């Protein structure tokens, strides 16, 4: 359980760093994001990459404590974390990708625990994805005026 709690925290942090790196030229133009460290230049791009590297190393150390199945799921989770910031530019509902990325620990927990991916798993995973999509859609509405300008 501790591995997953730490892993979710570390990967969520890594995802934020990835997002800030990708959006570093857009964030200064958005009221809500203009105070982010890369947007306001309180850290350099190089420093952001160092932070990302450290976070990903910690995540790797954590995931190596799990079984092969969970490790394989984690690779897909990393891909989603990297893709999400770009999806905001090309997909009209990037919240779907965020929903998958944020809920990716669910299949990892099931696999690491040796649980069967049954209906309960599907309901839990889909309801978590839906919850994330709904709250992130509301969250995105805050930026609508700035998004229309960009």
pLDDT at position 31: 85
Please choose, from the candidates 59, 67, 63, 64, the residue with its C-alpha nearest in 3D space to the C-alpha of residue 112: 67
Predicted TM-score (pTM) above 0.95: no
Stretch 69-95: mean pLDDT, rounded?
94
At residue 140, the 3 state secondary structure works out as helix
The CATH number corresponding to 2-149 among 3.40.120.10, 1.10.357.140, 1.10.3720.10, 3.40.640.10 equals: 1.10.357.140
Domain boundaries along the sequence of the chain = 2-149
Q: Which residues of 40-66 are buried (b: 16+ CB within 10 A; e: fewer)?
A: eeeeeeeebeebbeebbebbeebbeeb
CA 55 from centroid of its chain's CA atoms:
13
pLDDT band at 147 (very low <50, low <70, confident <90, very high): low
Query: What are the tens digits of pLDDT across the range 1-13?
Result: 899 999 999 999 9
- Evaluate if residue 92 carries a pLDDT over 90: no
pLDDT tens figures, 23-68: 999 999 988 889 999 999 999 999 999 999 999 999 999 999 999 9
| Alpha-carbon span 98 to 53, nearest angstrom | 21
Answer yes or no: are the C-beta atoms of 137 and 36 closer than 8 Å: no
């Amino acid at each position: 359980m501790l591995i997953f709690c730490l892993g979710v925290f570390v990967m969520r942090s890594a995802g934020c760093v990835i997002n800030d790196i990708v959006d570093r030229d857009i964030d200064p133009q958005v009221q809500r994001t203009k105070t982010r460290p890369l947007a306001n230049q309180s850290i350099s791009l190089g420093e952001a990459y160092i932070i990302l590297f450290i976070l990903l190393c910690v995540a790797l150390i954590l995931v190596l404590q799990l079984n092969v199945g969970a490790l394989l799921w984690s690779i897909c989770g990393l891909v989603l974390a990297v893709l999400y910031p770009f999806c905001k530019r090309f997909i009209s509902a990037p919240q779907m990708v965020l929903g998958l990325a944020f809920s990716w620990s669910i299949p990892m927990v099931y696999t690491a625990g040796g649980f069967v991916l049954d209906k309960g798993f599907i309901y839990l995973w889909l309801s978590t994805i839906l919850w994330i999509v709904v709250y992130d859609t509301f969250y995105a509405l805050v930026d609508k005026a700035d998004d229309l300008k960009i």
